[in-house]
Amino acid sequence: MIRQATDADLKAILTIQRHAFGEEDEAELVRKILDDASAQPTLSLLAFDDDGLPIGHILFSKAHVDGASAFLLAPLAVIPEYHYKGTGQRLMKEGLKLLKENGTDLVFVLGPPDYYPRAGFKNNAKKLGFAPPNPIPRQYDDAWMVINLTGTEATGQVRVCDTISAQEYWSA
């Protein structure tokens, strides 16, 4: 089951992030994004196993591209015991469906270039006309991706929320 997260789910969300990444950094990033007014509105979804235990989380935060409605996917986390079972793909599919229903044109992600295209993301968004919020090392060009949910012809500089706009999030 997948559902939208509530404020009461914060502890479960942070636990998933810690387990998925094996450190505190992503959990703290999620906390900061959720508290960042420039990230609003956000879309936060939780996935549950058959016993009702939370096993995955995805967060989309408001982004900006002139002439389009946009969001940034960051981060996506699944507890390691549930890897390779489609949880991350189901979270993305549901999130993208909800964003499209709400009129979102574009969704961006910086991540593994062989994983996100399975959900429809196109590699090298810069080559497609979308400059990342900060320069990224050339060897990671394919990791900067976009999915166009509505067929918009908008292109341009992508701006993200204050929390994740720091250069440290855009370099290797």
Question: What are 105-114's pLDDT values in tens digits?
Answer: 999 999 999 9
Confidence at 169, pLDDT banded by 50, 70, 90? confident
Helix (H, G, I), strand (E, B) or coil at 20: helix
Six-digit token string for 119: 């959900």
What does the pLDDT read at residue 44? 98
Model pTM score? 0.96
With b for 16 or more beta-carbon neighbours within 10 A and e for fewer, the 97-108 pattern comes to eebeeeebbbbb
CA distance 152 to 129: 12
Under 8 Å CB-to-CB from 74, ≥6 apart: which residues? 29, 33, 59, 61, 109, 110, 111, 164
Tens digits of per-residue pLDDT, 24-38? 999 999 999 999 999
pLDDT of residue 59: 98
Beta-carbon contacts of 93 under 8 Å, excluding residues fewer than 6 positions away, are: 119
Q: Work out the mean pLDDT of the chain and round it to a whole number.
A: 96
Q: Which CATH superfamily is domain 2-169 in?
A: Gcn5-related N-acetyltransferase (GNAT) (3.40.630.30)
CB burial readout 36-49, b (16+ within 10 A) else e: beebeebbbbbbee
Residue range 95-111: mean pLDDT, rounded? 98
Residue 14 has pLDDT above 70, yes or no: yes
**Banded model confidence at residue 171, pLDDT cuts 50, 70, 90:** confident
